[in-house]
Amino acid sequence: MTVFRDDVLAGKRAFITGGTSGINLAIAERFVAAGAEVTVLGRDPDKAARAAADLGPRARAVTADVRDYAAIAGALAGAGPLDILVCGAAGNFAAPALAMSANAFKAVVDIDLLGTYNTCRAAFEHLRKPGAAVIAISATQALAPALMQAHVCAAKAGIEMLIRVLAMEWGGAGVRVNSLVPGPIDDTVGMAKLAPDAASRARFEKAIPLRRWGTKREIAEIALFLASPAAALMTGATLVADGGQVLGGFGAFAMG
């Protein structure tokens, strides 16, 4: 379903980290369809190039690791002036805290939280104008504790507080900063890890009030709203799109 007119982002330039696959690629596709020029960033040059080619002539690809501030700053400098930033790079795996090494915990925090900070910090000078929008892709683990997700809960909860501080500090420059919190989304690597079989998938669905997973396109439509003039008064907000999953917490999703 198309909610917005096809030219709502005409003339706008967007930069999307993690934009070569999953939810973030779907956001890139939707932004291009709405008229934007889009730069997608990933760590794999070949994957990034393929994504940009599939997106069409208004898309380009860059490669960098969001954990490396100098690298992400260089990638952003090459992208030029921006109107929209989507911080979507993320990592996840399922493991209890006692089975997780300090390095494993740090890896997810560095990709999700530090990567979001690095990207936002490096992008500010390219975004600094009224109407610019930052969207941080978060997760319901930020809002409710989840077994085997200590690293993700910590990282995503940090993102939620970070976007509020940035919204306060950057509002005077006209830059809006919001987060988008998807719940279980079909056909994504993250959910394939967290619900790898029919039984675990059924357990998720039973605990969601709407009794279904979301789609990447549904999340992309919400991202388009946050990037559009329709959300001009919104900053420091968290939009949750999870079918009501987080209302009951993660108890139904306990593993092992």
The 8-class DSSP code of residue 233 comes to T
Q: How many CB atoms lie within 10 A of CB 171?
A: 13
Q: Where are the domains of the chain?
A: 13-186+216-238
State the Cα–Cα distance between residues 112 and 65, nearest whole angstrom.
Answer: 11
pLDDT tens digits, 23-72: 999 999 999 999 999 999 999 999 999 999 999 999 999 999 999 999 99
State the Cα–Cα distance between residues 235 and 194, nearest whole angstrom.
Answer: 31
**Residue type, position 43, single letter:** R
pLDDT tens digits, 4-33: 667 999 999 999 999 999 999 999 999 999
Share of the chain above pLDDT 90, in %: 84
CATH number of 13-186+216-238: 3.40.50.720
Confidence check: pLDDT of 201 > 60? yes
Report pTM: 0.94
The residues that bridge with 26 in the sheet, in sequence order, are: none
Confidence check: pLDDT of 251 > 90? no
State the Cα–Cα distance between residues 252 and 245, nearest whole angstrom.
Answer: 10
Q: How many CB atoms lie within 10 A of CB 65?
A: 17
Tokens standing for residue 47: 């994957």
Alpha helices in the chain (DSSP H): 22-33, 45-55, 69-79, 102-109, 115-127, 150-170, 189-194, 198-207, 216-227
Tokens standing for residue 25: 């690629």
Count CA atoms closer than 13 A to 183's CA, side-chain side.
24
- Give φ, ψ of 185 to 5 degrees: -120, 130
pLDDT number for residue 3: 62
pLDDT number for residue 188: 82
More confident site: 252 or 161: 161
Confidence check: pLDDT of 180 > 70? yes
Q: How many CB atoms lie within 10 A of CB 4?
A: 17
Q: What is the largest CA-CA distance in the chain?
A: 50
Closest CA to 86 of 130, 36, 157, 151: 36
Confidence check: pLDDT of 248 > 90? no
Plot region of 36 (φ>0 → left; ψ -120 to 50 → alpha; else → beta) = beta
pLDDT tens digits, 118-174: 999 999 999 999 999 999 999 999 999 999 999 999 999 999 999 999 999 999 999
